[in-house]
Amino acid sequence: MLRDEKAIAYFSDTVILAKINAEVDSNLAKTYNVSGYPTAVLVGADGKEIDRVVGYEETDKYLQTLRDYLNGIGTLEDLLQKVKIEFNREMAYEIGNKFKYRGKKEDAITWFDRVIEAGEPTDSLSGEGRMAIADAHYRSGDLADAVIAYDQVALDFKGSIYEQDAYIWPAYIQAKEGDTANAVSRFEAFKKMFPESDEVEWVQSQIDKLSGKVEESN
């Protein structure tokens, strides 16, 4: 993004950009509860977080988001005030995500639960909320709870777009935690259940990589 002249100008004239390697400066990453990359945390002169952008965005949208945050638009505090006036599920979901990315798991789950309770149990936004709850467990390091939550989504949302994602995430978590045998088993089951999935090629690459580790342990 910093090859874009608009971005270079913005970070030269409007805000100060500090690029941090969270693997090296882990204390700073912990202070701001950074749980995924890339994450841009916008802070004031006092070091207090204004808000953050998680993931990648097109340059114009990215810069507009930062401008809005500096003007108090779309921040967590702004949304919390708006939802008091008029509740809607989309805003509640966005609030839940903001808490999730700040490492506030219980607050995040409270808002995702409100999203689910205000709709139908298996509508699309309830599916997003259920997946977000599982992700909140994962990001906070509660991996067993994350696997349980994903498995339940897979059961409750059979035939939906959420079933595949909910089925594949526990395998990814198990692989990351070194539970290679169960991870391979889950990945193999995924291939059989969803042979037309766009994820099959990636799943096979994970099986190939993990199978070598299983053989080494035998």
| Per-residue model confidence as pLDDT tens digits over 41-90 | 999 888 899 999 999 889 899 999 999 999 999 999 999 999 999 999 99
Give the span between the Cα atoms of 135 and 129, in whole angstroms: 10
* Mean pLDDT, the chain, whole residue set: 91
Measure the CA–CA gap between 44 and 22, rounded to whole angstroms: 20
Q: H or E stretch including 38?
A: none
CATH 1.10.150.120 assigned to domain 5-70? The reply is: no
Q: Which residues of 58-74 are buried (b: 16+ CB within 10 A; e: fewer)?
A: eeeebbebbeebeeeeb
Higher pLDDT, 179 or 23: 179
For the chain, percent of residues with pLDDT exceeding 90 = 72
Q: Is the pLDDT of residue 4 over 90?
A: no
**Which pLDDT belongs to residue 1?**
46
Domain ranges of the chain: 5-70, 76-217
Domains 5-70 and 76-217 share a fold: no
pLDDT at 218 over 50: no
Q: Which residue do the tokens 């995040």 mark?
A: 108
Q: What's the pLDDT at 186?
A: 96
The upper half-sphere exposure of residue 84, i.e. CA atoms within 13 Å in the direction of its Cβ, equals 6
Q: Please name the residue that has the structure tokens 């509640």.
A: 92
Nearest CA among 178, 171, 154, 177 for reference residue 206: 171
pLDDT for 16 beyond 50: yes
Q: Are the CB atoms for 137 and 145 separated by under 8 Å?
A: yes
> Are 49 and 41 within 8 A, CB to CB?
yes
For residue 54 the two structure tokens come to 């998680």
User: Nearest CA to 134 among 116, 112, 119?
Assistant: 112
37 touches 25 (CB < 8 A): no
14: closest CA among 58, 68, 61? 68
pTM of the prediction?
0.88
| CATH of region 76-217, choose from 3.40.50.150, 1.25.40.10, 1.10.3720.10, 1.10.260.40 | 1.25.40.10
